[in-house]
A and B are shown apart, each in its own frame.
Chain A
């Protein structure tokens, strides 16, 4: 025990001042004690343990973990792919929608323009028809007026004859000769 203690002190001194292996380079280092059969014998059991570890890792654990990681990677890749496809599809649908809106707008504008043109044409036809009717009415009315005037004008000498006849009777008191009266009236007319 005393020896061990003294060794500890010297070892510590060497540890602090120099390379540690120098302190234990003697026979006392158990790692270098190859007289102990366990020193090399432990390697045999290590080989057994490491072979068992290697087999359980390489046959079971590592391929399984690699599979999990690969599975996740492909899942993420597939998800990203699906998202990309969905995005493309959404963009295509949006473009189609825009195109549909565009054509609908153009169609509706064409319809509106056609409706306006139709309305204009119909209004024109209507007004033309109306104007025509009005013109014929007007012409007919004018003709009627003209006829009435002609009638009135034709009746005027007779009325003048009657007026002159009655005037002469009142003023003179004789019945004038109708034929001379008409002649006189005729000459008096301008």
Chain B
């Protein structure tokens, strides 16, 4: 009997054998370590020669550096330089996590709401702290933009507060839902193929080509989503930090 539960891929277990069970190290943490090692390796290999004319790996390292650096500077402004290492860590960690999750039998840790939620709430509290650090209690003016007529404020302030508070929720759910939906769709279509073959025989093998084609198309889409969601997470982080520093 074939295992066809499309949700079992998200099931958390302990990783690293017995040691992992003792220290509560999970299979998702395993993938995180691999992702972090990949990021460090790419950056490290890129750095090894430090050539004026970069090779491929150095080009990749420099490209990712400049991509995130430009994103941070363009969105936050010159003050954003301090947050560049943080945004780079966030972006590279999520991106490599998303891409690793695309491999069969690998664990997509960005498909866990606990993970994306922890990241999103960290970003949320960071932007709060940065806002109060820069503006003190005047940071509350963020909820009452200047130039708005006074009679509109009772309506506007609650809206602003709610939209501000919903930021971590939308940030975490967006990433989690995108990755989860993509991975579930893959397994559902793969399950279709197995069902067609097992119930319709030779005809089913031919019919199974349809979900196979869909899965191939879905793979391309998932690559796009992996990049896009990492980018969206990073750019929204930059935007929130911009709001905290510049108050709109």
Contacts and interface: CB of A to CB of B under 8 A. Distances in A.
> Do these two chains interact?
yes
Interface of A: 1, 4-5, 7-9, 11-12, 15, 20-21, 23-24, 28-32, 34, 36-47, 49-50, 52-54, 56-58, 61-62, 64-66, 68-69, 71-72, 75
B106 interface: no
If over half of B's interface residues share one DSSP class (helix, strand or loop), that class is named, otherwise mixed; here it is: helix
Nearest to A49: B32
Most buried by A among B32, B39, B44, B111: B32
25 contacts: A4-B4, A5-B5, A5-B195, A7-B6, A12-B188, A20-B177, A20-B180, A20-B181, A24-B180, A38-B12, A40-B114, A42-B26, A44-B24, A46-B29, A46-B115, A46-B118, A47-B118, A50-B32, A50-B89, A53-B40, A62-B85, A65-B47, A68-B50, A68-B58, A75-B52
Interface stretch (B61-69, B149-157, B219-227, B237-245): B61-69
Interface of B: 1, 3-8, 10-14, 24-26, 28-29, 32-33, 36, 39-40, 43-44, 46-47, 50, 52, 54, 58, 61-62, 65-66, 69, 84-86, 88-89, 92-93, 109, 111-115, 118, 176-177, 180-181, 184-185, 187-189, 191-192, 195
B46 A42 contact: no
A114 B192 CA distance: 109
If over half of A's interface residues share one DSSP class (helix, strand or loop), that class is named, otherwise mixed; here it is: helix
Contacts of A15: 184-185, 188
B4 A31 contact: no
Contact of A31 (B29, B92, B112): B112
A39 B89 CA distance: 22
Contacts of B47: 61, 64-65, 68
Contacts, number: 159
Contacts of B113: 31-32
Contact of B40 (A34, A61, A65, A69): A61
Given A12-B192, A42-B29, A62-B84, A52 B65 contact: no
Contacts of B85: 54, 57-58, 62
Contacts of A64: 47, 50
